[in-house]
Structure 1
């Protein structure tokens, strides 16, 4: 995938620069604006609202494009199973977007399991757009134009703890749909968007609400 010369948006599952602080519970409107455009409570959007174009929403393609050399079969199986669970969870919400697992060279959402340890700079991944970037634990980059997502690239560390893998895959895949900002606050430690934990494997409550709202039927691109 080529990620040059077009809007690039980056987020990481443990990135200190990409979260909204929430000292207490947020209304549904405030929560949605936080995760979709980085708005602080009662604040303005800090990032553009991005969605996959309508013509793609009935089948956004997803592929596990590569895994780190030396990953043992049982370890690869954890990422395979985690990805399948993430797609099932997202598709099961009834939102106006569906993900489809494929085995092609140019999917809409491309996932790479890389050898880089969390907090280190990715090198020699075989993917030019990843090398040189710090990998918190998981990282997603979107290429977008005119508020429409064109491509998504996800990197996940092969050194993630076993109990975190499914949660990281669910978070990064959800963020690849345009909900790019995490939330930090005690109320949201059980949210897939939590800045401080990687333990959630279900989209429930306000997490589910946000994705359904982001892809409500006939959602116009300019809605904020």
Structure 2
């Protein structure tokens, strides 16, 4: 997850962080790689997880917490990143609609006062405390075969030029597309295991979101 990590809690399953690929994948293989951790021509290593159908038309995401001493200009960078990610995902025509809600979001984003590669403490969120924070972290908790809870933690020390890309990636992965891809053919993919510069969902990245959440029926 490009200096990030994904955890599946409520099960003892440890999540694989990325799939190594030798070259370009078919759309089918790419989707299976990011959605269930399947290597090329291999079996899924994670369950497929999606948000429940009844939540998809109005799935909320927002900044649930931030350090009290976060400078206003830094907070604006995170807020702009969240708004940009929402607009980018909503513009895909997939079968879900995100809405900003900082009061009680389904996808909680926590800006934490932890440096990259530090252990989170005193976040006020039990599922985050004690976890290693490479740069950003997604925690998905399954419930009855679907996503029941999603938490995103991102370091308050994230570099300015990385914030928008990291937030787009983490919010996209919180939709259930949990695995990155490692390989030179995907250096410019949002799901690339290296780099934090992509701020648009195009090509196979966009395809994977639309396939995971087929467009709503008219």
Provide TM-score, normalisation by structure 2: 0.92
Among candidates 119, 139, 142, match of residue 141 of structure 1: 139
TM-fit CA distance, 1:127: 1.3
Contact 1:8–1:141, Cα closer than 8 Å, also in 2: no
2:168 aligned residue: 170
Aligned position for 2:4: none
CA distance in 1, matches of 2:105, 2:79: 16
The residue aligned with 2:188 is 190
SS in 1 for 2:142: strand
- TM-score (normalizing by structure 1): 0.89
Deviation track 1:102-157 (CA, whole Å, cap 9, x = no partner) reads 132x3210000001111111111121111100001111111112321111000001
What is the CA RMSD across the aligned residues, in angstroms?
A: 2.0
* CA deviations over 1:17-58 (Å, ceiling 9, x no partner): 400001211110000000000000000000000001111110
Asked if 1 retains the 8 angstrom alpha-carbon contact of 2:93 and 2:215, the reply is no
SS in 1 for 2:54: helix
Query: Of residues 122, 127, 147 in structure 2, which corresponds to 1:129?
Result: 127
Compute the displacement of 1:10 (Å): 7.5
Instruction: Flag the 1:23–1:186 CA change in 2: closer, same or farther, 3 A.
Output: same
Q: 1:37 to 1:109 in 2, by over 3 A?
A: same
> Structure 2: how far apart are the matches of 1:158 and 1:10?
26
Gaps of 5+ in 1: 12-16, 220-224
Query: Using a 3 Å threshold, how does the CA distance of structure 1 residues 10 and 205 change in structure 2: closer, same or farther?
Result: farther
Q: Given the superposition, is the C-alpha separation of residues 68 and 10 from structure 1 closer, same or farther in structure 2, using an over 3 Å criterion?
A: farther
What secondary structure sits across from 1:64 in the alignment? strand
The verdict on how the C-alpha distance between 1:134 and 1:203 changes in structure 2, with shifts beyond 3 A counting, is same
The separation in 1 between residues aligned to 2:73 and 2:190, in whole angstroms, is 25
